[in-house]
């Protein structure tokens, strides 16, 4: 059956009018389409039929702050594909989106090539919940600390997750990149353990002294970032209560610190946690919380042995006990398991069901029991003729992970000219904090060398660097000492550089999930962000395929005379 655009429109409106519904895409990902996303998909579905507005204006990241200015190529048959999407909240409330200005004059970057200007990007307020931290039942001491750190309002996903975790549910938290998932699980944990916790009657008699929460992350950088987030909330006097156990760092020093500081929370990478645990230096049997951040990556083949050990030991009492006799369900309830990612494929749902006790799926503004989620089926896309064809179904897990505030483009360039295209792109968009992704380490160094040679401050981040070098590079980049960070997949997940205003794919990501995580390094917390994929002519079909899977407009463009020219593509799907 082939659907006409009108039918797709009606279908999507029907989806949008129910508060939420499940739509499941290929590679068995899970999709729960809540209202704002349904409206967004609706916009995407209509992309090809929108009326032409104005065609002459330029786009810079600076201009994206208040308005989008897009210049369209002269030769195009002009279908309007630019302009800001309404924020999710605006969509949900059917607030009219801000109309873009398309008639401003093109602007050239006036910045010297090497300038690094640290600027603050505006946060999208619609991402925040109508509820306060008090209403979510967080203890007063914790709220005080949050306020001291300038955190006064929870985001939507925090508002949904905090009460659920506080009610001791096992949970899968899914929400798009940069929406505040880290605090969504940290705050309910810190309400239960440590110096900021909710006062209880047993406080005086509480003899618990071992590790009470284990947080696992796939990379050192993400692990360290989570540690810093916990330290920030605990404050300087209590920050020793969290201990990092990441690979690449001195293991004996970590073991000594465990012994000396007796942390309540450990955060680490799977290999190091399981290594130290196997060596008998980390005791987690009495642990109350196990968090797997970027769970879909942690459950991949690479980590299976270490993850197996962690899942078997954390929060599981050793030796025979009455619980063992009671069977697996009783054993499960000894710890609370929280699984987190922007991309939750169905395999994670399946795993969560087998480990969890009445687990629920938590997304911003929606909570559903995992048992109600059925095996995914492909969903019809606008041009889908065969509902059972996986190639025509949308990769909904990746769709869900993309912040609505992003603009996506692709630009064709010969391999040998990619660095020049990258420079022109940065100048045209006046981007100040840029993350450029590549697939291999060696060419990555060449790119840094060429950028530096042309006066653009650039640095590299990849697995060949030692732990110290990696954290120094990252700190300098976050502090604005470098304008461009050239990196690989290592930085694609979890890395939070709020000022990042541009993500570049110098090599194509392997699939739409990888595209989504890379893209999510910009547009953090609803800020404006742009993603540009620089590819060769022969690779454009891959971009088109990802565009279809992600259901977002990835617009063809070029950079000439210091400005961005957006072309219309006749075959926008």
Ligand X SMILES: Nc1ncnc2c1ncn2[C@@H]1O[C@H](COP(=O)(O)OP(=O)(O)OP(=O)(O)O)[C@@H](O)[C@H]1O
Q: Which stretch binds ligand X (CB under 6 A): 76-84, 150-158, 379-387, 508-516?
A: 150-158
Q: Of 274 and 401, which CB lies nearer to ligand X in the complex structure?
A: 401
Site residue total, ligand X (CB under 6 A): 20
Question: Out of 163, 498, 499, 562, which residue is the one contacting ligand X (CB under 6 A)?
Answer: 498
Select 86 or 178, whichever has its Cβ closest to ligand X: 178
Residue from 60, 100, 109, 182 touching ligand X (CB under 6 A): that is 182
88 contacts ligand X (rule: CB under 6 A): no
Per CB under 6 A, the list member of 29, 83, 139, 178 interacting with ligand X is 178
Q: What's the min distance (Å) between Cβ of 519 and ligand X? A: 10
445-484 residues in contact with ligand X (CB under 6 A) are: none
Q: Which of 82, 188, 315, 520 binds ligand X (CB under 6 A)?
A: 520
- Which range binds ligand X by CB under 6 A, 30-38, 148-156, 308-316, 541-549? 148-156
Which C-beta is closer to ligand X: that of 174 or that of 382?
174
For residue 459, give the nearest of 221, 468, 514, 472 by alpha carbon: 472
Q: Does 82 bind ligand X (CB under 6 A)?
A: no
CB of 109 closer than 8 Å to CB of 428: yes
Among 88, 91, 104, 177, binds ligand X (CB under 6 A): 177
Residue indicated by tokens 């007796």: 262
Which three-class secondary structure state does DSSP give residue 468? Answer: helix
Q: What's the alpha-carbon Rg for the chain, to the nearest Å?
A: 24
Does 496 sit near ligand X (CB under 6 A)? yes
Give the nearest distance from C-beta 274 to ligand X in angstroms.
22
C-beta closer to ligand X: residue 153 or 333:
153
Does position 491 interact with ligand X (CB under 6 A)? The reply is no
CA distances to 220, 246, 355, 479, 486 from 225, rounded to whole Å, are 8, 11, 27, 15, 19
**DSSP, residue by residue, 225-247:** HHHHHHHHHH-TTTGGGEEEE-T
DSSP helix/strand/coil, 174: strand
Alpha helices in 206-314, H assignment, sequence order: 220-234, 251-261, 270-278, 295-298, 304-313
For ligand X, which stretch binds (CB under 6 A), given 22-30, 173-181, 305-313, 449-457?
173-181
At 203, list the tokens. Answer: 């406080």
Residues in region 226-245 near ligand X by CB under 6 A: none
Contact between 89 and ligand X per CB under 6 A:
no
Restricting to residues 34-53, name those near ligand X by CB under 6 A.
none
Which 288-347 residues touch ligand X, going by CB under 6 A? 342
Question: Which residues are bridge partners to 535 per DSSP?
Answer: 412
Nearer to ligand X, 151 or 165 (CB): 151
Taking every pair of C-alpha atoms in the chain, what is the biggest distance, in angstroms?
A: 77
* Residue 179 touches ligand X, criterion: CB under 6 A: yes
Residue 245: φ, ψ to 5°: -130, 65
The span of 107-115, 146-154, 240-248, 476-484 binding ligand X (CB under 6 A) equals 146-154
Beta carbon nearer to ligand X, 175 or 396: 175
The Cα-based distances of 131 to 153, 155, 162 in angstroms read 7, 9, 11
Task: Please name the residue that has the structure tokens 């006062």.
Answer: 199
Asked if 482 and 451 count as a contact pair (C-beta separation under 8 A), the reply is no
- From residue 132, alpha-carbon distances to 129, 237, 311 in Å are 7, 26, 34
Coil, helix or strand at residue 105: coil
- Does 154 bind ligand X (CB under 6 A)? Our answer is yes
CB of 494 to ligand X, least distance (A): 4
Q: Taking CB under 6 A as the rule, does residue 518 contact ligand X?
A: no
What's the CA gap between 499 and 239, in Å, rounded?
26
CA atoms within 13 A on the CB side of 74: 1
Rounded CA separation 548/138 (Å): 42
Q: What angle do CA 341, 572, 21 make, to 5 degrees?
A: 40
Region of 178-186, 266-274, 362-370, 386-394 interacting with ligand X (CB under 6 A): 178-186
Check binding of 192 to ligand X (CB under 6 A).
no
397 contact partners, CB below 8 Å, separation of at least 6: 25, 27, 29, 30, 31, 296, 343, 344, 345, 513
CB of 343 to ligand X, least distance (A): 9
Residues 6+ apart with CB under 8 A from 447: 418, 419, 422, 436, 438, 458, 486, 506
Q: How many residues does the chain have?
A: 573
Which one of 494, 529, 553, 556 is in contact with ligand X (CB under 6 A)? 494
Decide if residue 489 touches ligand X (CB under 6 A): no
509 binds ligand X (CB under 6 A): no
Judged by CB, which is closer to ligand X: 342, or 532? 342
Instruction: Give min distance, CB of 137 to ligand X, in A.
Output: 15
Q: How far is the CB of 114 from ligand X (least distance, A)?
A: 27
CB of 175 to ligand X, least distance (A): 6
Among 37, 80, 181, 423, binds ligand X (CB under 6 A): 181
Query: Any contact of residue 529 with ligand X (CB under 6 A)?
Result: no
The window from 39-47, 313-321, 492-500, 558-566 that contacts ligand X (CB under 6 A) reads 492-500
Which CB atom, from 3 or from 298, has the smaller least distance to ligand X?
Answer: 298
Single residue of 32, 351, 525, 557 touching ligand X by CB under 6 A? 525
- Residue 293, classed as helix, strand or coil, is strand
By CB under 6 A, tell whether 405 contacts ligand X: no
Which two tokens mark 123?
A: 């946060």
Indicate whether 524 belongs to the interface with ligand X (CB under 6 A). Answer: yes
What is the Cα–Cα distance from 233 to 394, expressed in whole angstroms?
A: 39
- How far is Cα 567 from Cα 76, in angstroms, rounded to an integer? 6
What DSSP string describes 47-74?
A: GGGPPP--------HHHHTT----EE-T
Question: Does 558 participate in binding ligand X (rule CB under 6 A)?
Answer: no
> What is the closest distance, in whole angstroms, from the C-beta atom of residue 159 to ligand X in the complex?
9
Q: Which two tokens stand for residue 208?
A: 């618990």
Say if CB 180 and CB 155 are below 8 A apart. yes
By CB under 6 A, residue 268 contacts ligand X: no
**Footprint of ligand X (CB under 6 A):** 151, 153-155, 158, 175, 177-183, 342, 494, 496, 498, 520, 524-525
């Amino acid at each position: 059956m082939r659907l006409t655009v009108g039918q797709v429109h009606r279908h999507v409106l029907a989806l949008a009018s129910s508060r939420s519904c499940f739509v499941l895409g290929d590679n068995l990902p899970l999709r729960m389409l809540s209202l704002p996303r349904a409206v967004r998909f609706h916009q995407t579905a209509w992309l090809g039929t929108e009326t032409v507005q104005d065609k002459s204006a330029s786009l810079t990241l600076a201009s994206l702050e208040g308005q989008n200015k897009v210049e369209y190529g002269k030769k195009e048959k002009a279908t309007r594909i630019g302009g800001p999407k309404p924020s999710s909240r605006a969509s949900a409330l059917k607030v009219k989106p801000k109309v873009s200005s398309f008639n401003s004059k093109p602007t050239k970057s006036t910045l010297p090539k090497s300038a690094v200007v640290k600027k603050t990007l505006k946060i999208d307020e619609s991402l925040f919940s109508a509820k306060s931290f008090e209403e979510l039942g967080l203890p007063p001491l914790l709220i005080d600390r949050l306020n001291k750190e300038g955190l006064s309002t929870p985001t939507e996903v925090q508002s949904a997750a905090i009460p659920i975790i506080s009610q001791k549910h096992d949970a899968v938290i899914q929400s798009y990149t940069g929406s505040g998932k880290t605090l969504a699980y940290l705050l309910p944990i810190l309400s239960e353990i440590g110096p900021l916790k909710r006062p209880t009657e047993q406080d005086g008699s509480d003899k618990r002294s071992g590790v009470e929460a284990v947080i696992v992350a796939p990379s050192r950088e993400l692990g360290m970032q989570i540690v810093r987030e916990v330290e920030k909330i605990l404050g300087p006097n209590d920050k020793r209560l969290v201990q990092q156990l990441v690979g690449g760092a001195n293991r004996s020093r970590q073991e000594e610190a465990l012994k000396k500081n007796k942390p309540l929370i450990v955060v680490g990478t799977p290999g190091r946690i399981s290594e130290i645990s196997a060596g008998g230096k980390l005791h987690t049997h009495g642990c109350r919380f196990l968090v797997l951040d970027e769970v879909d990556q942690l459950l991949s083949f690479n980590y299976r042995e270490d993850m197996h050990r962690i899942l078997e030991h954390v929060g599981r009492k050793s030796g025979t006990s009455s619980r063992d006799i009671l069977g697996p369900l009783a054993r499960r309830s000894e710890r609370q398991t929280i699984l987190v990612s922007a991309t939750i494929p169905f395999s994670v749902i399946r795993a969560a069901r087998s480990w969890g006790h009445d687990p629920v799926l938590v997304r911003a503004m929606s909570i559903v029991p995992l048992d109600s989620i059925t095996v995914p089926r492909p969903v019809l896309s606008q041009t889908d003729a065969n509902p059972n064809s996986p190639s025509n179904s949308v990769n909904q897990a990746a769709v869900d992970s993309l912040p609505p505030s992003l603009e996506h483009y692709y630009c064709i360039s010969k391999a040998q000219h990619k660095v020049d295209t990258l420079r022109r792109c940065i100048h045209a968009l006046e981007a100040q904090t840029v993350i450029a992704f590549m697939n291999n380490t060696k060419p990555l160094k060449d790119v840094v060398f060429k950028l530096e040679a042309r006066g653009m401050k650039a640095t590299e981040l990849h697995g060949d660097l030692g732990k110290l070098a990696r954290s120094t590079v990252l700190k300098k980049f976050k502090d604005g000492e470098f304008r461009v960070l050239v990196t690989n997949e290592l930085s694609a997940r979890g890395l939070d550089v709020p000022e990042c205003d541009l993500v570049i794919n110098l090599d194509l990501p392997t699939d739409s999930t990888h595209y989504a995580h890379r893209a999510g390094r910009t547009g953090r917390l609803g800020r404006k962000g742009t993603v540009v994929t620089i590819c060769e002519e022969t690779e454009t079909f891959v971009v088109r395929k990802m565009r279809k899977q992600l259901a977002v407009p990835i617009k063809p463009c070029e950079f000439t005379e210091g400005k961005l020219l957006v072309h219309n593509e006749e075959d926008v799907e």
